[in-house]
Structure 1
Amino acid sequence: MRVYFDEVENTYSEASKSWKFVYSWLDSVIFALVVIFVVFTVLFRVVGVNGRSMVPTLHNGDWLAVKAINMHYDRGDIVVITQPNKLNEPLIKRIVAVAGDTVDINFADGTVKVNDQLLKEDYIAEPTNRMFDVAFPVTVPEGCVFVMGDNRNDSLDSRSTIIGFIDTRYLLGTAEFRFFPVGEWKIG
């Protein structure tokens, strides 16, 4: 009889070890999912690029991780804008000027100046030749930024009153890295 009880104890002990392993594994998976959920709802947001306005830096179909807890924005930051506009969709643009800056665009030679300093724009596809309805120079109001797409001649941005100056309260955050397509992580 003792042999039978030993076999039952061994079987119970082995089953208990198996369940402990399953619970441990399941606990780790749930913890990882909670961490991912918190990271991508509090710290970062996932945003898809729709359109050509940021070519050659970003392309249609790229997916970005956007840092959502940014409280300070600088010239050159690529941002996601949720400000209501006539397009009724979020925009992805580059900040060219911040509050207090004066922007002047010479459409004849395609140059952009901020505070009388010529911008070095190695990220744009071609010079800025497309005009809209904003008369330059303009000074960016307090609490706002002036944005433009990197594909200057195929971008609706702050050069148009349809978009205009962007209130910083409507900036979802800054694009930190691209996670799709895989392998092209860096944002230029």
Structure 2
Amino acid sequence: MIKKIKNAFKIIRKHGKEILSWVFKIGVTLLFAFVFVFYFGRQISVAGNSMKPVADNGDTVLINKIVYNAFRPKRGDVIAFRPKGNDNSHYYVRRVIGLPGETIELIEGEIYINEVKLEESYQTKDIAEVGRLKEPLTLADDEYFVLGDNRENNDDSRSANVGNVKRGYMYGKAWLCIDTNKRFHLIRRD
């Protein structure tokens, strides 16, 4: 037994630097993996068909939590948030349409921002229900106006239950969708 212990110490002395190098590399890799998953791999399950065709009911969306610490949300970003910051609510996934300080209007089913028609390159459904957009709506300095892409079947900023989304209520930016058949695609702004 003592011989085995002595042999083990000899091996450790002979290969100590190499062993420590491997332990360090494994530790750094595990730390990197943890940080990556924590900030870029948070999962949210999509409830409802508000973002169809980008994401359907039951799809899983991966969220980048760190991007909005460095950058402001942009028009067209798909975000996850809790309405009115309600921690008891599930996360909503919607697209940013209006930015702080802008005035949003709905004229004959079309969205206007600061009196200019919004040109959208992503697929959406027409707006039939105007909700809070019966009159022009001006956003405060920290508020965003969000809509789902499936605008017929939607709870979004037009609804008083959701309202304007404050930046502090945003969980992060959606960047990857994994559908119920385990296929995935990147979520893009355009």
**TM-score normalised over the length of structure 2:** 0.74
Of 78-87 and 131-140, the range deviating more from structure 2: 78-87
Question: Residue by residue, what CA displacement relative to the aligned partner does 1:108-158 show, whole Å, maximum 9, x if unpaired?
Answer: x42111111111223233211123245321111111111111111111011
State the Cα distance separating 1:72 from its structure 2 match: 0.9
Hey, what does 2:99 align to over in structure 1? 98
Q: What secondary structure does 2:168 align onto?
A: helix
Whether contact under 8 Å (2:63, 2:172) holds in the other structure is: no
Residue number in structure 1 paired with 2:166 = 167
Assess if the C-alpha contact under 8 Å between 1:125 and 1:152 holds in 2: yes
Tell whether 2:42 aligns with 1:46.
Answer: yes
Structure 1 residue 25: deviation in Å?
6.4
The CA distance in 2 between the partners of 1:130 and 1:102, in whole Å, is 18
Give runs of aligned pairs for residues 71-150 of structure 1, distance below 5 A: 71-82=71-82, 83-85=84-86, 88-106=89-107, 109-150=108-149
Task: Look up the equivalent residue of 2:170 and give its one-letter code.
Answer: L
Alignment match, 2:52: 55
When Rg is computed on C-alpha atoms for both structures, the one with the higher figure is 1
Separation of aligned partners in 1, 2:72 and 2:102: 15
Conserved in 2, the CA contact under 8 Å of 1:80 and 1:171? yes
Tell me what 1:157 maps to. 156
Identity of aligned residues (%): 25
Code of the aligned partner of 2:172: G
| Cα drift, residue 173 of structure 1 | 1.8
Going from structure 1 to structure 2, the CA distance change for 1:148 and 1:87 (only over 3 Å counts) comes to farther
Q: Secondary structure at the match of 1:154?
A: coil
Q: Contact 1:56–1:123 at 8 Å: present in 2 too?
A: no
Deviations for 1:43-78, whole angstroms, at most 9, x for unmatched residues?
325132222111111223132232424141111111
Q: Residues 1-21 of structure 1: CA distance to partner in whole angstroms, max 9, x if unpaired?
A: xxxxxxx99xx69xx59x989
Q: Is the 8 A contact 2:79 2:172 kept in 1?
A: yes
Does the CA-based 8 Å contact 2:106-2:133 persist in structure 1?
no
Aligned pair count reads 173
Quote the RMSD (CA, aligned, Å).
3.1
Residue type of the partner of 2:168? R
The residue that corresponds to 2:30 in the other structure is 33
How many angstroms apart in 1 are the aligned matches of 2:96 and 2:187?
14
